[in-house]
Structure 1
């Protein structure tokens, strides 16, 4: 019995290590299967992200916090192609695409170039071989100059000259095409231009309803055009009875028929106005015939045009002041003095001797100016020069007799060394006028987006404007005191 029990226990002991090893192997296999599943999930996520543009795809099995941070709309947006023609629509779609996918500035030109075709691709290849196109704004400017309307064509003037020559539907399309090229036109101005371009047979009927929007004016014009087409008599076949002239009802506005080759005249013997003169008088609210203010019940007075003609024949001759003609006169815009924002000015940050300054780039100022407050604070060296007049925006002339020579101004990576005239400024410490702008070759400026791009010694620079903040009241008080002193001194001299 003892030996048997010993043999049984001895035979069962060797099986225990084997079972333990089998269990360990099974656990490792389960772990490897789990790792394999995780790797497969990660591969699917990476593949989904690579297929989506700019990492904008949707990940199904990713961590919730990570997917929420990088989530984009499920639908995919294709970048528009451009092969030529008017580039405005393509530029608008491209900028929407860049904004949607948060495209970096250095990638915009490459992305756009990939989607150019035909004439646009040939033009880009030629321009890229001639110059380095780094910024999206440079590509837009090149496309607009080549494919857009002529540079000499003013968009505002082009809109004002629109006239209806066909149907109202065709006129609406042409008006929409031209109005899309202008910026920040008030609604009442657009309405006035639209009404002025209508045919005479529709203009009076539409105006009498006093529409308050272009949309309402278009609907009225379409209704009156349809009514006019219905009431217009159809062409009849030829018969001898049609040779008799039709009797026309009496109308006080009917013009007498002229049988000579002279220019058309009104019933007072004055030459008929051109379309440009009519438009000018309409904008001023003047009568087309006599030039007086037009209103309900207006009647042209006899002899008015003769008096106007007599006044126009008398030219006044103003002799210039010899002292003013011989003296150098600089100009500074009123926006530079008061610090008010203007569509043709731009403010950038800079430094003078590690001191932060606000610089106004102003094409309306002929010279460079520095705030006299900044001159005193930084103790800038000034030199006396022969006094000259500085004409400000309201026409007054203030004398200036000092100059700061060779002031180094640091703007980003660019150092500008210029001469500045001390002056009372509000809202800016320095004014860079035409004196500095004339030293640049070609400047690409966008005053709406507030940036300018130029090249100096083969290196390209970009100034990005900053928003104008509220001005301190002390600045304006100092300006008022200084202007009062200068005006008093000028009256005394």
Structure 2
């Protein structure tokens, strides 16, 4: 029984083995068939590649034949021509004015590319003629021509010379006989010197002296003209060189802003200059007079009428008649020149006391009609400009960076300022800031664009820190205006006791001012005339006497 079971198991195992062998045989047969198919495909691909190679070889042979034919045609065409292609055949009429086109010049490369649609347009380009007129324009056209058409360097001058006519051709022949054939750069310089009167030294001098006088647009036009001339003589000048020169030639109120923006290209500098010009013009436009319709006033004044002057006179920006033109804001240099010549700010006539009176009476009439003149938000009193101590001002001594200075506490000035020269001498840290237009009480306009962001000083043992702008004060070292006083509210000014009481975090601080120096002021006729011309005066009275001081050698008038 056990033997029969084992025999049955052996038969079953053999049957399974036979099935596995059959499956393996089938898989191997399928793999062999797939391999044969791949080999057949590879064979077909090889045959296709062989056929393609044959076709390529045939195509190359055809191309070589075509190239050989083209070369033979070019050789036949250029048989009677020079390297530039300007030679004329015997059959051509001597009076013919036919011009050379580009396919006469650039050889086999151009012929091989002549089938290109984008290149055919260049075949019709003609080299510009030059007859001695507008040499710079002709040079620019030649430069663009050579940029578009690949002409060898040694062929540029001969090509240009055959396109000269009239007096230009006569000059070139004479130039070659005297100096030989020039290079392209030498030819450009020679043409400009002959036909444009363009001298290298003069161009460099004009370029170095170029500065903005009117608008940025006008300055840029002249700058670009000189820039092109400079590049003619020296092509190694880079963009940074021209950018720095452009910035240095701008007006002061524009140059500072552009420089602080650190432009990296000339284009950026130009854009910044234009924007700053718009900003400055917008600020200055606010200082222009606002015209009002007023009746014309008679210019006649009775001779026996005694001129009177009011200490509180403030110039009014009102028109004398409805047809008068707005007054242009004078620059600092223009106002200084007019003061030296004793000329009126509003016309070219000598400024006289009668004109002061007429101008002041007109302002009084306008004020009676209820019209108010435009005033600036930022004002500076005459006391601050001259350093005078009078009503509304107190003088104290202070210390800045270990140096003693005089400080004027002025309730008539809206802002605080330190003199530019004093700030520089004391080594105070400054930085550029937004432009501020300051109106002095006499109508004079000043500009402040530098600030001391953290100016510290000491007065009578007390420390103070406050941002202060710089200004050309002249008569005073340091002015503390209403902005500083407002930062220490409440403030008490005692002009009898000469004290200033201000508030700080630790409590109230009392500052004692220096004694005021009172007395009459001696003034020369020239100084009096200058004051009238500048419209800057404090107090005028009747002249009592005139005396001669021999030791000073001048006539002095005592004003009381």
Task: Give the TM-score category using the shorter length.
Answer: 0.3 to 0.5
Could you say which structure has the larger radius of gyration?
2
TM-score by length of 1: 0.35
